[in-house]
Structure 1
């Protein structure tokens, strides 16, 4: 039963951000069809932030009308909306309408708003629902959330999204010195292995899997929700001892056993004590980690990687997606709740993120551009940045899960607020002031 619940929790987590992550990895194909072209990412950023209306409403309901909002009903609703939206996207994503005399992707942007509403609202509904299960399943949920980015990324790689080659093309003008046409290298994108419509149907299928998993979790017997495994004297699971039973009693020989009290009293006894200063640090950490990992850095990943070549970009995207669930697994088997450790790890991740940001700023001529060392460093930097920040997110979620239900709600709200601040900060820098310059890795010439 414990293994089954782990699988269900992981599958439930798949529906958290799969739609928005899928849209981002599919952008290289989408922008070649839509009239907005490479301005589509800027529109997506704004739409996703507008969709934070969902988490704001849910958080205010929990604050001012506690108990009125039925979490399960909200989750059923948003997952159903996500499934319908993915199917509609498959049929209407390239439909255009004329607004003010110009063609616009009105259908695509409207459907994208509803998908973003689903994913943003999941931050303040999915995680609090996991409060009904032992803490170790929260870690499994985070693994599923990581896979919601990894799986679409792998499917997009199989689809061949953004794969390109350098080809010689003749310039239209004639070389004035020798009277011959001049030749230059240009980037030519290869055709995809399957269509965008099939990819959106795949996203709809993943949302269906998440809904089915939630239905099963919601119908679990109460005994399974309270405890899904018994502790045998002398055999203590390293995960459960760290996460499941923080308030378990020990006998004289140091062996854990559960006291004969009600589950409610066990829960109260296990509730950790944090000072106001510690809570401020925890929520500040949540805010910062989500700001850099969901807002600041994703906006400049192409600028930091593409100057090193197409391979560097795809490796950084794919391996960073792998680092997310791997970090979740590491948090499951080697948990560490020390706030000092989590703060240092967040600082280390910020260091990797700073290197990535610096290379984006130097684009189209970053450090070690024409060397294998440069490619390896930028790929590893993105992998370690994602891994460290994910570990911090998971452990903070586990800490707050043991505190209270409302603590998880505010954790989700802080996550969305951090993502909003990061995106709002980067949008004018990238899309308005054009501080970052993209480079054609086939044709950019940099000083040695």
Structure 2
């Protein structure tokens, strides 16, 4: 009787410990892409306050691409000084930098300086770079650390990684958007005539809470992630971890992520949480593909990442702002929510048919083409000023993000099951696509000015 009671007590302790580790793994995953995703969903509110205006998203895509220097430096450090790079030190460092950057962003996001005779958001760009550096580097450090735990906790970590994009999107929806109204303003004409001229200017009403509060919420999420990591670091002494067979050391070591940084991230840095779910099962001997099929798969990788991480994010403001702040706000927030939802669906409903993925890519490209066309027509896109137009542009961005996110995950699953090197090349192709997309759009938006911004109150569009 005493033995049975003791076994029951031990079993309850194991269950409680397992639940605790699941919670910690999920909380740890919150810090993976929370900062970058938070920036994107907050853009509709800050794009009107910063001097770059509608060009701001194109700057962010380039800054995030530059932040991929982080994984590169970590990889070089591992290669040049093997054994010296301590995994937990790197994670502590990037989580600390992430939390501090979010706090600094809350205070300095709207501070500007004069550079080359023009006002620029220098503080915002510098802090954004460090935030992107944190998130990009997390791709090659967080997952290798989690590989040291029993395999059942990896899925929970990926749920937390998905929540790193989902929660900022929900918070942004709760924040609401500052509705715009047109206000008459007078300006004196001449010195002594007393005459004045009237003009309209756009005035934005405040949201439910400020952008500074939003950035403090992001900082709190980073702190939660750090606290979870501290707790996980102390758990190897527990019965739960000592009694179960861990992932093999060759996989658990930090070199797993550092030798193949592309295998944990598509390299774009823009809203990819949950895509690491393709790592959820061990490598299998995958089906054979012809050279033409492989070429098709890698073309999909390049194109999908170019579209989702470079081409379309650069012009989202031009695509949505003519329909109003609410349309832009909903497009950004719901698209951020659609990404982890699509990745979660891909974990449970896997359709590997290349024909299906090709059709889905064409469908997603169609939505993206509509978004790009509306950006090109800015400030007078189709159905401007109507509820139908606003609804269509929001749904178009939602389905664009959702369909292509599913394709990215499934392509990763296919290449993972083929071979380890195929997955590495997948990451390289994703990085190349993201980089080409960002570099292509930056001069088109900021140098050649192919996209035109407008003012809701003063832009006259033909009926």
> TM-score range, shorter-chain basis?
0.7 to 0.9
Q: Deviations over 1:63-105 (max 9, x none)?
A: 8888876555533432232123223333454566676787765
**Matched residue, 1:351:** 366
Q: Is the 8 A contact 1:128 1:405 kept in 2?
A: no
Tell me the TM-score normalised to structure 1 length: 0.74
Tell me the TM-score normalised to structure 2 length: 0.72
**Matched residue, 1:88:** 104
Q: Which of 277, 282, 286 lines up with 1:272 in the alignment?
A: 286
Equivalent residues in 2 for 1:403-422 (5 A)? 411-422=426-437
Q: Is the 8 A contact 1:16 1:145 kept in 2?
A: yes
Please state whether the residue corresponding to 1:26 is helix, strand or coil: helix
Shift of 1:154: 3.2
Q: Which of 289, 309, 313 lines up with 1:294 in the alignment?
A: 309
Shift of 1:395: 2.7
Question: Matched residues in 2 for 1:305 and 1:183: separation?
Answer: 28
Q: Which of 189, 209, 213 lines up with 1:198 in the alignment?
A: 213
**Matched residue, 1:164:** 179
Q: Is the 8 A contact 1:303 1:364 kept in 2?
A: yes
Question: Matched residues in 1 for 2:37 and 2:181: separation?
Answer: 28
Shift of 1:186: 3.4
Q: Do residues 363 (structure 1) and 378 (structure 2) align?
A: yes
Q: Do residues 55 (structure 1) and 57 (structure 2) align?
A: no
**Matched residue, 2:94:** 78
Question: Matched residues in 1 for 2:285 and 2:78: separation?
Answer: 20
Question: Matched residues in 1 for 2:126 and 2:148: separation?
Answer: 34
Q: Do residues 24 (structure 1) and 40 (structure 2) align?
A: yes
Q: Do residues 433 (structure 1) and 452 (structure 2) align?
A: no
Q: Which of 396, 408, 423 lines up with 2:411 in the alignment?
A: 396
Q: Which moved more, 1:383-392 or 1:87-96?
A: 87-96
Q: Which moved more, 1:419-428 or 1:54-63?
A: 54-63
Q: Do residues 120 (structure 1) and 140 (structure 2) align?
A: no
Question: Matched residues in 2 for 1:441 and 1:382: separation?
Answer: 21
Specify every segment of 5 or more residues in structure 2 that has no aligned partner in the other structure, as ranges: 1-14, 249-276
Q: Do residues 336 (structure 1) and 388 (structure 2) align?
A: no
Q: Which moved more, 1:84-93 or 1:328-337?
A: 84-93
Question: Matched residues in 2 for 1:444 and 1:101: separation?
Answer: 27
Specify every segment of 5 or more residues in structure 1 that has no aligned partner in the other structure, as ranges: 228-241, 247-266
- Provide the aligned C-alpha RMSD in A: 4.0
Q: Do residues 148 (structure 1) and 159 (structure 2) align?
A: no
Shift of 1:325: 2.5
Q: Which moved more, 1:421-430 or 1:89-98?
A: 89-98
Equivalent residues in 2 for 1:240-259 (5 A)? none
Question: Matched residues in 1 for 2:367 and 2:453: separation?
Answer: 21
Q: Do residues 377 (structure 1) and 392 (structure 2) align?
A: yes
Please state whether the residue corresponding to 1:272 is helix, strand or coil: coil
Q: Which of 181, 202, 207 lines up with 1:187 in the alignment?
A: 202
Q: Is the 8 A contact 1:142 1:328 kept in 2?
A: no
**CA 287–313 in structure 1, closer or farther in 2 if over 3 Å, else same:** same
Please state whether the residue corresponding to 2:380 is helix, strand or coil: coil
Please state whether the residue corresponding to 1:167 is helix, strand or coil: strand
Q: Is the 8 A contact 2:179 2:326 kept in 1?
A: no
Q: Deviations over 1:203-249 (max 9, x none)?
A: 1111122234445566462727559xxxxxxxxxxxxxx99998xxx
Please state whether the residue corresponding to 1:187 is helix, strand or coil: strand
